[in-house]
Structure 1
Amino acid sequence: MRAFINIAFYRIKSFYRDTFTFLFTIILPLIFVIVFGFVFGGSNTGAGEYNISLGVIKENRGLIQVLKELGDMKVVLVDNEEELRTQVLKGYIDGGVIFDKNEFNLIINFSSFQQKPFLRTIGENFPNVYALHEIGMGEGIVKVEEEFIDPGKTRISGLGYSIPGVLSFSISGSIFTMIALFGYYRKRKVLKRFAVTPISPLSFVSGMVFANVILSILSCILVLFVAQIIFNLNFSIIWGLFLFSLFSSILGMMALGIIITALFKEPQTANNVGNLLVNIMLFFSGVYFPLDFLPNYLKIFAQFLPLYYIGKALRISVGVEEGNLGFIYTLSTIMVLIFVLLISIFGRKILSLEED
């Protein structure tokens, strides 16, 4: 037990001296929280705040009236179709609507299409709205008032939805813990110094793992508190479930790090592969941005990424997404069992004096 405690304290002390691990585990997640907070914290995509400018030919009076009734939308009148296309092409307006009595032709500036989500729905909804206007139903506009019903979870902003993704980023740093333990430590002959001491492989490995789990959990809690304090977020956290999700997710990422190290014997290569894998998971697993923005084939691809499930479990545990608690328990059990299996196989060789 004493050896286990000493190893754990050694790892905690060395953590703050390891610039890369310290940066990846604590500093970068905090930076992401601040950046995401100021970029998305004040955003609101509700009605009346579309801030879209659409052009329409002057002679289409019915079209002009319908557009003016569609929320906070600026209607720009032009003389002809050529002028309309020119203004859209040069970015003076976000788009334009042409109606020849038979069909609608919606012209959209590509940059505006990416930046203003409401433009994505105009092509689908506008013909229906115009048809209602023509037959005199409510002047073509159906007024909608939204009422929020609290189902026992907190109602959170888009920023709040992204915070579990930032936590996932911090958790993914556990991959590099195993790369360091099974790769760099062996190559730099750090393990040989422990091999001549009466320290069992079990005490060494468990002490290192325990320290990194504690450090990662503290990092995630710090990020969560900073986000709540700075941006006044109000999560409905189930603390027992949240800590259990963190614990199992960290072990799951450590298991992935063990697999990478086993496949790529050279530590630098394993580290590069780990970096590539982390970046792929962050952008395509829905931890930062909703999967609805991705094409269908990428939505399928996301379901093969571990962070997809980790992000979902964290969102459920902090109350920003509804979900079955059985999902968290099943996922956590699988990740813990995989970690125990892999650490049992590779942990026996950790203090071997032979260098790969």
Structure 2
Amino acid sequence: MQGFSPTPRARPSNAAPARPSVHRRYLARRLTGAALLITLLLGAAALSVALGARSVGWAEIHAALTGQVQSVGDAAVASRLPRTLLALLAGAALGVAGGVMQGLTRNPLADPGLLGVNAGAALAVVIGIAWFNLQTSLGFIMSALTGASLSAVAVYVIASLGRGGATPLRLALAGAAITAALTSLTTAIILPRGDISGLVQSWLVGGVGGATYDQITPVVPFLAVGFIVSVACARKLNLLALGDDTAAGLGENVALARGMSALGAVLLCGATTAVCGPIGFVGLVVPHACRLLVGTDYRWLLPFSALGGAILLLLADVAGRLAAHPAELDAGIVTAFIGAPVFIWIVRRRKVGAL
């Protein structure tokens, strides 16, 4: 008698095909989101070059891009190109810095403006101008970085006092207190100095108007280092999101991870503030919007925040030009109009007691 050899069961003809893996679906969603943001970024950059007190056509844009400045339109485009570049760099820097700060503090309200970093950088620059006749771009940058670093340390130390350490709520409260104090000191320094008050107060609003390549070039190395350090800390931020004890148990040096992440955020904030003035809410709004596309993985969130921040600041600058035509509203005013309602929505959604 021959042995029985079962044959494999035939698959029913109406069986559903195997679903793609979760990883593939997430990857496709993220790549689609990246393509969308890149398209929006290119469109925002085109609008920034084309729109303003004088609208220009593609012929004038092409002429200015090729170095031919023969008409008023060509000159207008030539003056908008560095402004567009600065808005792109500054928006990307603030978006990444906000994402890093939110991951570092595990605080959904973390933002360079709300944690006192921008205020510290601004105060240091104002002191340099008023008391030390600061004039060079490198001097502005170093002063802003020093002020941003000292402010960040002060906020963390104050929030760490007492039981429980630096909780998200304590960081937000300490940041608000430090910001108020530093802003008051900045105002006190400016008021008696009529020779600098007009220029400094315009700078304190925050914006990218009047940008030149000579202003942008010195800040690029600092932004590049800040971007590299921040992106390199993405995996560390993922571990810190699990809690300090869990991160340490997985082999992460928590103190080093926090220090490196803070260094990247301070470099981005300080360098941006030095050249643009303090611009708020970009670092708050953009990471929250990007989480809807890519989730909470900082290896994806930080690059997306760079794209989103650049788009937001470019569009804010364009909106400021058009809203008060033929005059202009600085981009910092427009981002405040956008950011304040988002801030209120986040607080109401999260509930302050749960932060």
Same fold (TM over 0.5): no
Instruction: Specify which structure has the bigger relative contact order, considering alpha-carbon pairs within 8 angstroms and separated by 6 or more residues.
Output: 2
Q: TM-score, normalised by structure 1?
A: 0.27
Q: TM-score, normalised by structure 2?
A: 0.27
Greater strand fraction, Structure 1 or Structure 2: 1
Which of 1 and 2 has greater Rg?
Answer: 1
